[in-house]
Amino acid sequence: MATGETLAKSLDHLPPELLATIMAKLDVASICSVASTCTAFRACASQLPTFHLLDIAPSMDLLRPLLGPPNPYMRSLKVDCDRLNDSAIELLLRPPAHELCLHNCADFSGKLLSEVGRRCRNLRSLCLGSVAENRVRGIHISDLEELLIGCTQLEALILMFDVSPFLGHDLARVWALASKKLTSIEIGYIPSVAVTEMLSPNLGPHQSPIHIQPSMLLSIQKLCLSVDCITDAMVSTISKGLVSLTHLDLRDAPHSEPGIAQDLTNFGLQQINQYGRLKHLSLVRRQEFLITYFRRVNDLGVLLMADNCTNMESIYLGGFCRVTDTGFKTILHSCSRLYKLRVFQGTQLTDLVFHDISATSLTLTHVSLIFCNRLTNLAVRNLVSNKDLRVLDLRNCKNLGDKALQAIGILPQLKILLLDNTDITDVGLSYLRQGVMCSLVTLSIRGCRRLTDKCISALFDGSCKTELRELDLSDIPNLSDKGVLLLARSRVPFSELRMRCCPLIGDTAVMALASMQVNEDRWYGSSLKLLDLFDCGGITQLAFRWLKKPYFPRLRWLGVTGCVNRNLVDALARSKPFLHVECDGEELGADQWDCSDGSYVHDYDEVHDYDEVDELEQWLLEGEGEHVDEEMGDEVDELEQGLLEGEGEHVDEVMGDAENNAELVI
């Protein structure tokens, strides 16, 4: 076997670019393993152009050896900063970087923004999330000024936090400092009056938005904002001020019912796309604080908007309660290039909107119809005439049943299917087995209360190879351990499995998943990265022994009920420091700036290769933290011993049966 010195000498003959290309395909854990084997790999690791660490939140102790050595070749850096603060600024901010993405920066101060401007002058893309949310002193306008002044090459800026403290500081002057190359702005929250102030430097205190001149941000093509209330004034300012705009995404969540002067009306809708360049439009009213809609927009407003939007490719309308089939059909018949249609809370939408869709030239690939309760199976039967559908989101359309699934089953390219809270049964799911199950990557049947354990055998009978990697079985009251045993026996290599709020799911289900082998070459539980068991009625302390190593080695997100035993939860978190454990019912993997209606779905233009397994990562995970694992084992064993002594032979019998059942899966 070659020694590290011999290996290094042989590797010296390979081009450095080749080694860098190979190593760049590994995750950080594997890179650390490779770098420890020889000098050549260590030198290559210190010169990688990309460093992405978003699956785990590293501490300073972990980050320092990874980012400590200077790397003049660094171009892209992405890190989850949940365990970091201002002391990490020097490590994170690298002058050569072109792309910087820092999530969960709640413990940083506004200094992070100003230091980015001072240190990272070559940045093209910047994303900062949750900055200073845990700090008494937040972000000052001067921090934003230094950021905009310093980053003269910036093309995309994403600030996923509340920027309302900047209000009243002459925002037009501050944003005029931005790079002339800036084409994309996304902001987590900003008041609508601040948007008007930011984009209309020539608008006086009593001047009508009709007289708005083009903004200083002439190059902006994409604008995504979450505001308190979408108004006519704000929409007019954006539409007339941003002459190059092609992508507009506006979301609001009013705290109280808006008055006419603080709301969107038909007039505001008519102002959209004044320069005819808009391709993507999203206008969504979320019901985060109260049940409210765009009550001052009707079919006339949509008709007027459609006249300006014939070249639109993607439209998302949420909360337009007075828009009927007439308005939506106008969009379908006017926008011949439309391929994405999303409607949220379309309370007046009926089957008639899709009655003659086959007569149009549309090629829809993404359709989302959430909380459109007047739709029936007939609408789906007409909709699937678009054979190119890749994403179909029908959540909370409560009148959809098995006949809708029979129609959906013929779609050859469907990747995502979301059916939450529909009226489907086990029989209906069997219609998917021979068709779309061969292409589906994501399936959600959350809250479909007529389903039973038989739904698993209806979907997975071994008759066809499935690409399914994300499955949501939450809130199905009749789903039990028996169903999970059937799921484990199918050996489908799931990456994400959600089963929250299933009262009949218990310890046996955890044992079965822990013992599951997706094929002969992989270790137990290898594929799961996310497992949500929150509020599953049968989960006890006994299940936690199966959540320890070596089971579930790739798990990064776990949802459990903390009241089962807080000591066990804390011990598990210590044993797996890179595991996010949620105990209070939070949706796993969700970001606080995601839209609260849950209506966002990924575009599967490039499907992730979930089957790819890194042997170096496997080796690292099997060997890491043995002393911590022993500590976890001692604590769990003590608690289990006390539990077993207290419950006696009955628990022993149940445990024995559960283990026998789990072994049958292998």
> What DSSP string runs through 118-140?
HH-TT-SEEEEESTTTT-SS---
Q: What is the pLDDT of residue 201?
A: 60
| Structural domains of the chain, with CATH | 4-45 (no CATH), 469-666 (3.80.10)
Q: Residue 530 forms beta bridges with which residues?
A: 496, 557
Give the three-class secondary structure for 168. coil
Interval 51-87: pLDDT, tens: 888 878 888 988 887 787 788 888 999 999 999 999 9
Name the residue with tokens 């809609």. Answer: 293
What lies within 8 Å, CB to CB, of 5 at 6+ separation is 38
Q: Range with the lowest mean pLDDT among 300-314, 409-423, 578-592, 605-619? A: 605-619
Mean pLDDT of 411-416: 95
Q: What is the pLDDT of residue 58?
A: 86
Q: What is the pLDDT of residue 237?
A: 93
Distance, in Å, from the CA atom of 27 to the CA atom of 617, rounded to the nearest integer, reads 8
Q: What is the pLDDT of residue 153?
A: 95
Q: What is the pLDDT of residue 545?
A: 84
Q: What is the pLDDT of residue 351?
A: 96
Mean pLDDT of 313-330: 96
Q: Range with the lowest mean pLDDT among 84-93, 157-166, 618-627? A: 618-627
Q: What is the pLDDT of residue 638?
A: 44
| Intra-chain end-to-end CA distance of the chain, in Å | 34
pLDDT band at 12 (very low <50, low <70, confident <90, very high): low
Asked if 528 contacts 495 with a C-beta cutoff of 8 angstroms, the reply is: yes
Mean pLDDT of 123-148: 91
Residue 98 has pLDDT above 90, yes or no: yes
Residue 204 has pLDDT above 50, yes or no: no
Q: What is the dihedral of CA 190, 193, 197, 203, to 10 degrees?
A: 160
Per-residue tokens: 72? 């003049």
Residue with more model confidence, 577 or 128: 128
Indicate the helix (H) or strand (E) that contains 64: helix 60-67
Mean pLDDT of 322-340: 95
Q: What is the pLDDT of residue 85?
A: 94
Q: What is the pLDDT of residue 567?
A: 80
Mean pLDDT of 1-20: 62
Distance, in Å, from the CA atom of 558 to the CA atom of 432, rounded to the nearest integer, reads 29
Per-residue tokens: 193? 């009056």
Q: What is the mean pLDDT of the chain?
A: 83
Residue 425 has pLDDT above 50, yes or no: yes
Q: What is the pLDDT of residue 197?
A: 86
Distance, in Å, from the CA atom of 469 to the CA atom of 440, rounded to the nearest integer, reads 8
Q: Is 184 left (phi over 0), alpha (psi -120 to 50) or beta?
A: beta
Residue with more model confidence, 573 or 224: 224
Give the three-class secondary structure for 342. strand
Neighbours of 180 (CB within 10 A): 11
Counting residues of the chain whose pLDDT is more than 90, the rounded percentage is 56
Interval 179-202: pLDDT, tens: 999 999 999 999 999 998 888 765
Entry pTM = 0.84
Interval 463-504: pLDDT, tens: 678 889 999 999 999 999 999 999 998 888 899 999 999 999
Asked if 49 contacts 24 with a C-beta cutoff of 8 angstroms, the reply is: yes
Q: What is the pLDDT of residue 222?
A: 97
Residue 354 has pLDDT above 80, yes or no: yes
Residue 653 has pLDDT above 70, yes or no: no
Per-residue tokens: 189? 């929250």
What lies within 8 Å, CB to CB, of 317 at 6+ separation is 282, 283, 284, 323, 342, 343, 344, 346
Interval 503-549: pLDDT, tens: 999 999 999 998 887 655 555 556 899 999 999 989 988 888 888 87
Q: What is the pLDDT of residue 381?
A: 96
Per-residue tokens: 195? 């948007």
Look up residue 376 and give its amino acid: T
Q: What is the pLDDT of residue 253?
A: 95
Counting residues of the chain whose pLDDT is more than 70, the rounded percentage is 80
Mean pLDDT of 2-17: 61
Residue with more model confidence, 11 or 609: 11
